[in-house]
A and B are shown apart, each in its own frame.
Chain A
């Protein structure tokens, strides 16, 4: 089931944020969305999640417009990890992860499928040992993993994450990227907004680059994450290198006027 973005346009308070944007996102792959601050990445992601109605154009999943879906049905298909991590009450970790099952749940308690999905998500993010701990007393990195587990517990066909690496230490950044990759290998479509170019190059199968609400480049990551495109997108010159095992390293080195 492809996600079709068709001539998407959206203005917020009279200012155009997305202009005539079209792209096709494929399941089983990690698509990274890149662009400077204010380029429209988060707005695009919330359109993909069906949380914003575009002024024109549509986002379609299997031929159905996301904005027209029943919200709960959409919640089962598309999981969103918002940019701002919010935990408002001091519930325990297992309860918090269980909230991810909300769009699936019937009137009464958790079914076996619910419990299995919760256990699986906690195992995948390595937080099974924290299950009885209070969520608000965890470190920032632990909370980030718990919130990722919450999204995974919903077993979405499409997983959208808005800067999931913010506030994580390097080890946990790599962990989260690996989990996103795993989700894509398991068949889900994964769409991630990232700022770190090296991480983007490491995790992305495909990439979309936005500039001032327009699509600057789209396609396989190796074709898009090149100095020319990045210079246009961010106004910086980058240095490209590779690690010994061939993984790409992309470092911005200076601004170009």
Chain B
């Protein structure tokens, strides 16, 4: 199968999954009822459609961000959260919850985006003009642990038990009750981030030969580094703003895609974006139909799905190492 056919197949799967996610939920809405108006139309157009679009956008963003991070760091276990941008975004959102700024629905995502932007700026300050991967990863770790501990501090100092519960719940990540306002805020940012990262495919391919060889063939590593930070920051910041922290997508999806595209890092990008969207839309449909007392949080569902994946990976690696 050619790369184009494979991507078309994935995209068709994504469309089907989105149709399914419009139907699935505590109230099933069949396609025959879509034109009828009334309550079902409101569920469909005001709740499920924005949710499906957000799910696809976030999944695509996380899948792409993960594929770029893994290619850039030349490490199949790199995760888009590694730069500390996602935890900075989460800290921003948690601050807005802490102060009870929930009156306006847009304040939380805006705080999260501001957090992501500050995180990227801090990363730029820490790394300076260096092109060293170790320095870069270390700076990301510092940022992630600082923002993580500040988030824990906010939780422990929260003014009311209700605020604590709200923060903890939000951190687990979900797409419940998202509106068109969220779509309008987040989708353009994810589109911009994806556009920035689309240009990294060639340089990432070249990095297969290491930094010296890549530079000798004209790759500007400094420029590539900031493209990656800015693009991944936009994608991760926007998705945390919309849905909280949803792990594993950026880690698993490029892994699954890689063998099918012959391991070339640049070829992993597009199918990772589509497959990421597919995975999040499916998982989000699943949490809606599971018969739990309250809806299972998407972030938790993702982690639960992710663990068996890593177990399978471990078993396979153990067999290969034996």
A91 CB–B CB distance under 8 Å: yes
In Å, the complex CA distance between A95 and B215 comes to 18
In Å, the complex CA distance between A1 and B157 comes to 71
A121 to chain B, nearest CB (A): 14
Q: Which residues of B contact A91 (CB under 8 A)?
A: 208, 262-264
A185 CB–B CB distance under 8 Å: no
Given contacts A95-B262, A95-B264, contact A102 B218 (CB under 8 A): yes
> What mask results when residues 31 to 71 of chain B are scored 1 for a CB within 8 Å of chain A, else 0?
00000000000000000000000000000000000000000
In Å, the complex CA distance between A53 and B264 comes to 31
Across the interface, do B210 and A102 meet the contact criterion of CB distance under 8 Å?
A: no
A88 CB–B CB distance under 8 Å: yes
Across the interface, do B213 and A86 meet the contact criterion of CB distance under 8 Å?
A: yes
B294 CB–A CB distance under 8 Å: no
Across the interface, do B210 and A86 meet the contact criterion of CB distance under 8 Å?
A: yes
Q: Which residues of A contact B265 (CB under 8 A)?
A: 89
Across the interface, do B208 and A96 meet the contact criterion of CB distance under 8 Å?
A: yes
Across the interface, do B216 and A88 meet the contact criterion of CB distance under 8 Å?
A: no
User: Which single member of A80, A89, A90, A95 contacts B213 (CB below 8 Å)?
Assistant: A80
> What mask results when residues 65 to 83 of chain A are scored 1 for a CB within 8 Å of chain B, else 0?
0000011111100111110
> What mask results when residues 210 to 231 of chain B are scored 1 for a CB within 8 Å of chain A, else 0?
1011011111100000000000
> What mask results when residues 237 to 262 of chain B are scored 1 for a CB within 8 Å of chain A, else 0?
00000000000000000000000001
Across the interface, do B264 and A75 meet the contact criterion of CB distance under 8 Å?
A: no
B41 to chain A, nearest CB (A): 45
Count chain A CB atoms within 10 A of each CB in B74, B217, B262 and give the residue with the most. Answer: B217
A99 CB–B CB distance under 8 Å: yes
Q: Which residues of A contact B210 (CB under 8 A)?
A: 82, 84, 86, 88
Q: Which residues of B contact A134 (CB under 8 A)?
A: 263
B209 CB–A CB distance under 8 Å: yes
B285 CB–A CB distance under 8 Å: no
A154 CB–B CB distance under 8 Å: yes
Q: Which residues of B contact A150 (CB under 8 A)?
A: 209, 213
B207 CB–A CB distance under 8 Å: yes
Across the interface, do B216 and A72 meet the contact criterion of CB distance under 8 Å?
A: no
In Å, the complex CA distance between A199 and B154 comes to 67
Q: Which residues of A contact B208 (CB under 8 A)?
A: 87-89, 91, 96, 99
B206 CB–A CB distance under 8 Å: yes
**Count of residues in A whose CB is under 8 Å from the partner chain:** 34
A103 CB–B CB distance under 8 Å: yes
Across the interface, do A74 and B264 meet the contact criterion of CB distance under 8 Å?
A: no
Q: Which residues of B contact A82 (CB under 8 A)?
A: 210, 212-213, 216
B184 CB–A CB distance under 8 Å: no
A209 CB–B CB distance under 8 Å: no
**Count of residues in B whose CB is under 8 Å from the partner chain:** 20
Across the interface, do A51 and B216 meet the contact criterion of CB distance under 8 Å?
A: yes
Q: Which residues of A contact B202 (CB under 8 A)?
A: 102, 105
Q: Which residues of A contact B220 (CB under 8 A)?
A: 71
User: Which single member of B74, B209, B212, B263 contacts A99 (CB below 8 Å)?
Assistant: B209
Across the interface, do B206 and A99 meet the contact criterion of CB distance under 8 Å?
A: yes
In Å, the complex CA distance between A164 and B213 comes to 14
Across the interface, do B262 and A88 meet the contact criterion of CB distance under 8 Å?
A: no
User: Which single member of A73, A80, A92, A95 contacts B212 (CB below 8 Å)?
Assistant: A80
Across the interface, do A92 and B262 meet the contact criterion of CB distance under 8 Å?
A: yes
Across the interface, do B262 and A71 meet the contact criterion of CB distance under 8 Å?
A: no
In Å, the complex CA distance between A32 and B213 comes to 20
A32 to chain B, nearest CB (A): 20
B295 CB–A CB distance under 8 Å: no
> What mask results when residues 93 to 106 of chain A are scored 1 for a CB within 8 Å of chain B, else 0?
00110011011010
Q: Which residues of A contact B264 (CB under 8 A)?
A: 89, 91, 95
In Å, the complex CA distance between A49 and B218 comes to 11
Across the interface, do A99 and B218 meet the contact criterion of CB distance under 8 Å?
A: no
> What mask results when residues 139 to 174 of chain A are scored 1 for a CB within 8 Å of chain B, else 0?
000000001001000100000000000000000000
In Å, the complex CA distance between A121 and B215 comes to 21
A104 to chain B, nearest CB (A): 10
B182 CB–A CB distance under 8 Å: no
A95 to chain B, nearest CB (A): 6
- A interface residue numbers (CB < 8 A to B): 46, 49-51, 70-75, 78-82, 84, 86-92, 95-96, 99-100, 102-103, 105, 134, 147, 150, 154
Beyond A46-B212, A92-B262, 20 additional pairs, beta carbon < 8 A: A72-B218, A73-B218, A74-B218, A75-B218, A78-B216, A80-B216, A86-B212, A89-B265, A91-B208, A91-B263, A91-B264, A95-B264, A96-B208, A99-B205, A99-B217, A102-B218, A102-B219, A103-B218, A105-B202, A134-B263
